[in-house]
């Protein structure tokens, strides 16, 4: 059943023993939202347990309470399961099976499949953290500095530190309020931007793999299995081809294992979600991806031909 | 004479023929502030002329009106010279000598030497653009989408897209208002992040020059004259050593010409302005710089010894 945010607050108010979870491969938004809502609920004397069926990336360990997030095991007593920032119950892994409590889902993903008993979905929010901010307001919860830091992390990471198209005036206004409540924008940015040396060294090789097609309108990087193993993360690598002057479409080919290539695309104008869809993937207009079987050479040829057609048809409209 | 922002608005209201300028090596804040204030003044039927004694970097050409900024030459009729974002009249180059009109200076630099006839200084503002925003409000100027884009650029660039320590709740609130008035945060970010291919290729070599000292607490990069000539900009390179896990102090050595080394330092805790001062430079606690004579090897030895003492004395406090 779809519920208003006010109704969601009432459902939370009635429950006493609450499990809060989010998606696997936790990111700043899911984790920050979980930590913020859990601290707020605990301040109303609720019993709150946080579960994520995955490891918490090191980079988020600075958030207060991250150390209390548990991995699901066995059965857990609860009268409500709150699922944040996950569009599908498959995305919460084994947390699904630790309780039979009714599910309240709060999310901002357009792909949400409305799997929960109660759901609140705001696809205009840049982050689930923005919705939690509004929810805490309705609940009259005190925004402590720790909650502020968690929500600021949630919002800032999901809108690329205010650089993505989902950044709205409301995103900025909420960030302003969180700073007033003690979030330190520079400390959070600095902490999240810290990278292991292995990632910086991998970047050198990534730049060595740069290739250009279609008169420099398409730029690619290629990551072979060795390199992927040597770096803690490949996040952000695609920004290098993407940010080069004249590049319309940037592609990262990741050969995770021989015979299978994961592809990420970023574009300025071309709708790359159409290209991804063609190969069984998906995404947004300007950021999409897919996984293709075959060796890297064959996959490259196939994908670059598909991109070539889009880049060229896009061009023609302007040239005539 | 120090003036309030309201008084500054009155001085502007009384003038009819106004020159607006900013510092040489124009950045997003000085240029964005100039364009925004000039458009607002023109909307009140003032004659406004914009001058900068320097080229406008390509990356800012997307801002409406940038093409109308002139280089100073000869004498220009005016009854007011408005100097934005410059702390010193040396910083406006030859614009100083094109008019004898009284000077109104609006700035946020703590180093401001109060050279003007009238000055308004707010060192808590993250950017001069933040002050211009408040000024336009007092003037009841209409914030057009072009003014919004110019001021958003001014604010965002001076606080590192909301990642530096000068980012306040007010910075964010102003950014929110500018988005409401038509600034497109993603388009501005994408435009400003675009880099020429030569800079991305230079980055490869920059990463090859990475060196570590003091158990990885100090990381350096070294740019030789060839490399500096080959890249359109060296901006942002220092973030690579700075963002490596465990690094306390990052240093960029730029050998602009044989026998002279420009040094930029970034730190997390150590007060690098003290080290810069020791060698005739200056800056802030966490970002400072200086220029040292001598060959690169000798300069490196000298500076790294100085840093070593600070990193170590900083350490000892915690170890005891």
For A86-115, the pLDDT digits (tens) are 999 999 999 999 999 999 999 999 889 999
Domain shared by B187 and B212, yes or no: no
CB-CB: which of B169, B176, B240 is closest to A200?
Answer: B240
- Please answer yes or no on whether A179 and B168 come within 8 Å at the CB atom: yes
Same domain for B146 and B69, yes or no, is yes
Report how far residue B66's alpha carbon sits from residue B47's, in angstroms, rounded to the nearest whole number: 17
Measuring CA to CA, which residue among A160, A244, A236, A243 is closest to residue A202? A236
Whether A168 and A305 share a structural domain: no
> pLDDT tens across B25-82, in order?
899 999 999 999 999 999 999 999 999 999 999 899 999 999 999 999 999 999 999 9
| Interface contacts A/B by beta carbons within 8 Å | 117
The CA-based dihedral angle spanning residues B302, B305, B309, B310, taken in that order and rounded to the nearest 10 degrees: 60
Domain range for A240: 197-319
Answer yes or no: do A154 and A182 share one domain: yes
Among A10-14, B92-96, B277-281, where is mean pLDDT lowest? B277-281
Given A139, A173, A193, the domain boundary residue is: A193
How many angstroms separate the CA atoms of A301 and A304, rounded?
5
Model pLDDT for residues A38-59, shown as the tens digit of each residue: 999 999 999 999 999 999 998 9
A256-305 tens-digit pLDDT: 988 999 999 999 889 999 999 999 998 888 889 999 999 999 999 999 99
Contacts of B163 in chain A (CB under 8 A): 161, 185-186, 189-190, 193
Residues in chain B: 320
State how far the Cα of A211 lies from the Cα of A310, in Å rounded to an integer.
Answer: 18
A57-76 pLDDT per residue, tens: 989 999 999 999 999 999 99
Residues B81 and B176 in one domain: yes
Helix (H, G, I), strand (E, B) or coil at B267: strand
* Chain B environment of A160 (Cβ under 8 Å): 189
Considering the domain architecture, whether residues B142 and B204 belong to the same structural domain is answered as: no
Q: How many domains does one find in chain B?
A: 2
Among candidates A160, A186, A203 on the partner chain, residue whose Cβ is nearest the Cβ of B165: A186
- Is A258 in the same domain as A210? yes
Question: What are the DSSP calls for A32-79, one per residue?
Answer: HHHHHHHHHHHHTT-EEEEE-SSPPPGGGTTSTTGGG-B---S----S
Are residues B237 and B99 located together in one domain of the fold?
Answer: no
- CB contact under 8 Å between A173 and B173, yes or no, is yes
Tell me which residue in A161, A196, A245 faces B197 most closely, judged by beta carbons.
A245
Percentage of residues in chain B with pLDDT exceeding 70? 98
CB pair distance less than 8 Å for A190 and B268: yes
Q: Looking at the structure, do residues A172 and A242 belong to the same domain, yes or no?
A: no
Provide the shortest C-alpha distance from residue B128 to chain A (in Å): 19
Classify B257 as helix, strand or coil. Answer: strand
Nearest residue in A to B177, CA atom: A169
ipTM reported for the complex, 2 dp: 0.87
My answer on whether B283 and B186 are in the same domain is: no
B282 Cα to chain A: minimum distance (Å):
21
Domain of A217, CATH number, reads 3.10.310.30
CB contact under 8 A, A175 and B179: no
How confident is the model over B107-156, as pLDDT tens digits? 999 889 999 999 999 999 999 999 999 999 999 999 999 999 999 999 99
B176 with B220, same domain: the answer is no
Task: Look at B167 and A173 and tell me if their CB atoms are within 8 Å.
Answer: no
Inter-chain CB proximity A194 and B245 less than 8 Å = yes
Q: Give the Cα separation of B278 and B211 in Å (integer).
A: 23
Residues of A with CB under 8 A from a CB of B: 156, 160-165, 167-173, 175-177, 179-180, 185-186, 189-190, 193-197, 200-201, 203-204, 207-208, 210, 216, 239-240, 243-246, 268
What is the reported pTM? 0.88
Contact B153, B186 (CB under 8 A): no
B165: which chain A residues are within 8 Å (Cβ-Cβ)? 186
How many Å lie between the alpha carbon of B218 and the closest alpha carbon of chain A?
Answer: 13
Q: Taking Cα atoms as reference points, which of A18, A247, B248, A70 lies closest to residue A8?
A: A18
Residue that terminates a domain, selected from B138, B170, B193: B193
Whether B169 and A177 lie within 8 Å, measured CB to CB: yes
* Residue A313 pLDDT class (50, 70, 90 cuts): low
Nearest CA in chain A to B184: A165
CATH of the domain at B56: 3.90.1640.10
**Do B67 and B189 sit in the same domain of this protein?**
yes
Asked whether the beta carbons of residue B172 and residue A167 sit closer than 8 angstroms, the reply is no
B175 neighbourhood in chain A, CB within 8 Å: 162, 172
Last residue of a domain, one of A152, A177, A193: A193
End-to-end Cα spacing for chain B: 51
């Amino acid at each position: 059943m779809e519920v208003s945010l006010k109704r969601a607050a009432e459902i939370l108010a009635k429950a006493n023993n609450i499990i809060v979870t989010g998606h696997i491969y936790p990111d700043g938004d899911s984790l920050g939202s979980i930590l913020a809502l859990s601290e707020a609920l605990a301040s109303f004397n609720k019993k709150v347990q946080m579960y994520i069926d995955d490891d918490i990336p090191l980079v988020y360990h600075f958030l207060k309470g991250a150390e209390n997030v548990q991995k699901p095991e066995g059965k857990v007593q609860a009268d409500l399961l709150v699922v944040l920032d996950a569009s599908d119950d498959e995305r919460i892994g084994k947390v699904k099976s630790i309780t039979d409590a009714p599910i309240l889902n709060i999310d901002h993903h357009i792909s949400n499949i409305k799997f929960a008993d109660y759901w609140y979905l705001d696809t205009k929010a840049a982050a689930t953290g923005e919705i939690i901010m509004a929810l805490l307001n309705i609940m009259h919860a005190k925004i402590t500095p720790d909650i502020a830091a968690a929500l600021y992390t949630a919002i800032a990471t999901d809108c690329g530190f205010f650089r993505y198209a989902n950044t709205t005036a409301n995103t900025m206004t909420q960030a302003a309020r969180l700073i007033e409540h003690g979030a330190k924008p520079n400390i959070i940015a600095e902490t999240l931007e810290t990278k292991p040396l292995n990632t910086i060294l991998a970047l050198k090789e990534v730049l060595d793999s740069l290739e250009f097609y279609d008169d420099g309108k398409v730029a690619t990087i290629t990551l072979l299995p060795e390199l992927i193993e040597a770096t803690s993360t490949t996040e952000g690598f695609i920004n290098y081809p993407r940010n080069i002057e004249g590049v319309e479409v940037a592609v990262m080919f990741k050969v995770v294992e021989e015979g299978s290539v994961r592809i990420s695309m970023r574009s300025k104008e071309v709708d790359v979600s159409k290209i991804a869809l063609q190969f069984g993937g998906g995404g947004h207009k300007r950021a999409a991806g897919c996984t293709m079987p075959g060796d890297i050479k064959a996959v490259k040829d196939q994908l670059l031909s598909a991109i070539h057609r889009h880049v060229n048809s896009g061009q023609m409209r302007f040239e005539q």
